[in-house]
Amino acid sequence: MPPYRYLFLLATFCLGTAHAAPELHYRVEAQAAFTDVPRLGLNLGEWTAWGAAQLSGNILKNPGFEGLIDRALVIVKTADNFGFTDDTAWTKRPDGFWAGAHYAVRSGHDAGKQGQLFDSKASGGQGLPEFTVSGAAPTLQAGDVVSLTRDDDRHLPAQWWFAKDLLPGQASVSTDTRPQSLGQRALLLQPQMGKPIETLSYWDGIGDRAGKLLPVQGGWTLRFWLKQVAAGATVTVKFHRINGGKAFFQETFRPTATWQLIERRFNAKDDGPAAPLALSFLVEGEGGGLLIDDAELGADNSGTFRPEVVAALKTLQPGYLRDWQGQLGDSFGNRIADSFARRSSRYRPGEESAFGYGLNDFLRLAQTVGAQPWLIIPPTLDDEELTQFGVYLRQQIEAYGFKEVMVEFGNENWNAVFRPAGIPNYTAHGEVATRAFQYLLNGAKHHPAIRTVVNGQYVNPWLSTKILDGVSNAHGLAIAPYFLFKLDETDDVLAKLFDQDDFFTETLTATKARGKELMVYEVNLHTTSGNAPLALRNRATTSAAAGAALAKRLLTALNKGISKQCVYTLAQYDTFIEPSGQRQAVKLWGLARDLGANPRLRPTGLAMAMLNQALPADVYRLTSEDADANAITLTALRHGNAWGLAAVSSKAEPQMVTVQFPPPSGKQTWRLLRLSAPTPFADNENQAQVTITEEPLVVENATVRLTMPAYGLAVLVAGQTTKP
């Protein structure tokens, strides 16, 4: 951007410092276009140990040292009397991986049939993953879907780290668990002469670019269970940053022959430089061995979720809270398991697995922050699990008083990224999803609060319509209208932010024609393509203008009648992309820059918080005869007898706007909220430059007059309303 234009924007972004363009006039229509529009929703997102989304009060993942669930979907390429092959090679696991695993046919002639696999090959005769069944093979055709499930309770726990040069027997698992444990395993550690053994858990690993995202200040508590299995071993427990500084906690314990609960409170001062955090159990001795089970570590004031998480959600006020944390390979039993009994799960090939928050905890959090739950059911679930899921949901709806529970079948089935547990073919998807919803709804006795949802591709309305048509018992279709996918070094960033495509209309027309609802499961910037340098890309994604641009996207959908929208995501500092063959960490998606010592919302988060102050409401459209009227995106909102207004400017200069409301039924006071920043490119990455400010507003004869700054966002919300 030329220097002279930047100076111009610096002047025009601040009200009253430059001459505004000719006034634009709008009139609010007398009849509501859409009624009972809820607050904007939010994806809670994946709980990470290394980035900004360190969500759990107990910061330990897999605190019960439990096993691993592997699940995946096979889409049949060929089948015979002995078994079947997958239709893609990239889902393959090592030879024998699925031997003894459970299979469940999800579509076709034998849908519902279950059995056991005898063996598997990474590459069979056709070069594709091949599966041999025990006993009679099911009747399968090309395109049929089969779910595979493998439980591993023998190997070392995921989410914990061990040295690669362990001697045989030094680290293993035991079924001797602590008293009243809900889990199945404990960790068995046995040192040998001159060969201690250590297991570690790590957090806060991107301090080199983000600073401390998980500060350790004030009172903290460590708990774990300990038992001796053979005399001679001690364990030293250490919690510290791995930069050589003083440990927050360190103590050596000698176990006894019976289970002991070890509990230590300590006061931490995290005053040193940023570095990864680690909790270490170091077992030493000339022999012997000990068991460790059900460990906890967290700040004293934490509940199930860290208080910073709850506080951020209460600021954002989501109408819906979407549970998407990569759980496509999970089981229903594991989704509702206690944290100490919960296993890790995996649906892709490779070593990486997921350990997330449980469904019970998620529903409790949604109720606490006043949100309706939006759940994703894994496409890998079998008929029995789906029935149990339905029974469970009915109980939870009654217990928590939820008005709606959105139940989405998988995540982006059309997207090849999720193919190991997704169904891209709309015909096969339709059969499996219809069956899944049928069993779930039967289990829930068709509770009216449950709304079944399938996901489509925003930029492909034809495919989205086919996906919806294939699922007869879906209440609606959800899409993800991300924007600003591509940014090049020669682009005018501000113009690109507000030049947004529109694939809404065709899909919306199709869903309405079918009597179904169109929803948004994710929306935000998606600036991953193009040749823009990292600094320019981050300037776009974290800016005050990005907050206004997201608001424009959301208001555009509201004005079309898309009322259920979930922004992505609560907390994510950055993500790695490779747009030009070079790895870059781009600051994308997190509405919260961090949830650390001084949590800060990014401008996109502030924009959501502002809009939700005017919702829920009825939506009214506005009309104008002015030539440049489309440069301002406006939505009028009415709750009871009180009016509100949201406005976004796509203009590079200040713009005076006049809005005529219908005659009032009483005297209303107004509050004018602005997304305030010194320039459109100001951000909250290192300090709070972008804030929500409130200004007085005088309204005469139901006419609102305000100046919109360049690339700005303003929201008018009602004060007290009195009767005439």
Question: Residue 584 domain-assigned?
Answer: no
| Cα–Cα distance measured from residue 473 to residue 470, given in angstroms and rounded to the nearest whole number | 9
CB-CB contact of 652 with 60 (8 Å): no
Long-range contacts of 625-633 (CB under 8 A, 24+ apart): 625/25, 626/24, 626/25, 628/21, 628/22, 628/24, 629/24, 629/26, 631/24, 631/655, 632/24, 632/26, 632/657, 632/708, 633/551, 633/552, 633/555, 633/556, 633/559
Round to whole Å and give the CA distance between 386 and 375: 13
pLDDT at 720: 55
pLDDT at residue number 11: 40
461-469 vs 504-513: helix axis angle to the nearest 10? 20
Residue 671 inside a domain? The answer is yes
* Shared domain check, 218 and 95: no
Last residue of a domain, one of 269, 299, 329: 299
Helices (H), ranges, 306-382: 307-316, 332-335, 359-368
What's the total number of domains in the chain?
3
What's the predicted TM-score (pTM) here?
0.95
CATH number where 208 lies: 2.60.120.260
Given a cut of 70, the residues of the chain with pLDDT beneath it are 1-20, 665-666, 720-724
Do 187 and 290 fall within a single domain? yes
Does one domain contain both 10 and 125? Answer: no
Q: How far apart are CA 622 and CA 456, in angstroms?
A: 30
Residues 21 and 108 in one domain: no
- Is the CB of residue 695 less than 8 Å from the CB of residue 704? no
Is residue 629 a part of any domain in this protein? yes
Structural domain harbouring 269: 161-299
Residues 100 and 175 grouped into a single domain: no
Position 270 in a domain = yes
Residue 245: per-residue pLDDT: 85
Q: Is residue 243 part of a domain?
A: yes
Task: Answer whether residue 486 is part of any domain.
Answer: no
Of 248, 268, 299, the last residue of a domain is 299
State the pLDDT at residue 724. Answer: 34
357 domain-assigned: no
What is the structure's pLDDT at 582? 82
Distance, CA of 185 to CA of 67 (rounded, Å):
8
Are residues 48 and 203 in contact, defined by beta-carbon separation less than 8 angstroms? no
Give me the numbers of helices (H) and strands (E) for the chain, helices first please.
Answer: 13, 40
Q: Are residues 198 and 123 in the same domain?
A: no
Within this chain, do residues 32 and 85 fall inside the same structural domain, yes or no? no
Q: Are residues 167 and 278 both part of a single domain?
A: yes
Considering the domain architecture, whether residues 165 and 294 belong to the same structural domain is answered as yes
Q: Is 93 among the domain residues?
A: yes
Same domain, 178 and 292: yes
Give residue 668's pLDDT. 84
Residues 176 and 282 in one domain: yes
Q: Which of 119, 135, 151 is the last residue of a domain?
A: 135
188 and 290 both lie in a single domain: yes
CATH code for the domain of 684:
2.60.40.1180
